Amino acid sequence: MFKFFEPNKIFQITSKAPRYVLILFVIILCIGLTEALILSPEDYKQSDAVRIMYVHVPAAWISLGIFSSITLLSISGFIFKNKNFFLISKSLAPSGFVFNIIALVTGAIWGKPTWGTWWAWDARITSMLILALFYAMYLISWRIFESEEKVFKITTFITILGIINVPIIKYSVDWWNTLHQPASINILSKSSIHSSMLFPLLIMTAAFALFSLLIFLMKYNTELIKIKNKGLDRL
């Protein structure tokens, strides 16, 4: 089954896809920004400050999703001895890290008008900061270790340690008393967010997901060309 995902076979698709993904991303982002900044209603309590949610929440969701995917791919790469899984993980990490930083910074900007402070050592915020550190360690490992075997082992170890933090981030607002509000959107139970706010949130999430796909494809293609460059040296 993994033969379908061999770089030589999928490069034909991954090399052409970015331009289409970019066009789609720009269209969805424009719709999302119009909805988020103009058409969606203000909150009865937070007034217009609630609009920060439309960048903060999707960024947090996607950074968590990417880290979980990286962990799954790294472990699978180890089990099935498939280098391509590591290559995919490596290509996903930069956008995951940037989304994590966006979630932290926009959270701090949102905190000032709603809590009266830019930062609090609150369970949710601190655990998101720890996730950013795991992302940083993961990315730095790829830069500093030359040996492929070593970097595969170390990055997998980092992701396994980091994934322990993901459920802590998710349930921190339920387990501890925090400044951060509990989740408004639940898959298994009824969400407490109104549809007029849910729609722009989902549109912005789709735009952010497309952006991470775009960066992933560009980074993956770069990594493949790097490998081919080394191959030319060996000829």
Q: Contact positions toward another protein, by CB under 8 A? A: 7-8, 11-12, 15, 33, 36-38, 42, 47-49, 51-52, 55-56, 59, 94-95, 98, 101-102, 105-106, 109-110, 112-113, 211, 214-215, 218-219, 221-222, 224-226, 228-229, 231-233, 235
Alpha helix ranges (H) inside the chain: 7-14, 17-34, 53-80, 83-115, 123-144, 148-163, 165-175, 195-234
Whichever of 21 and 166 has its CB closer to another protein, that residue is 21
Please report how close the Cβ of residue 189 comes to another protein at its closest, in angstroms: 29
Whichever of 81 and 234 has its CB closer to another protein, that residue is 234
Handedness of CA 124, 184, 47, 97 (dihedral sign): positive
CB atoms within 10 A of CB 74: 25
Longest Cα–Cα distance in the chain: 67
Please report how close the Cβ of residue 221 comes to another protein at its closest, in angstroms: 6
How is residue 52 annotated by DSSP?
A: G
Please report how close the Cβ of residue 11 comes to another protein at its closest, in angstroms: 5
- Amino acid letter for position 22: L
Please report how close the Cβ of residue 55 comes to another protein at its closest, in angstroms: 4
Whichever of 27 and 37 has its CB closer to another protein, that residue is 37
Whichever of 112 and 150 has its CB closer to another protein, that residue is 112
CB-based burial label for 40 (10 Å; 0-12, 13-18, 19+): buried
Residue 90 corresponds to which tokens in the numbers above? 């490596």
Please report how close the Cβ of residue 21 comes to another protein at its closest, in angstroms: 11
Residue 233 corresponds to which tokens in the numbers above? 């040296």
Whichever of 62 and 73 has its CB closer to another protein, that residue is 62
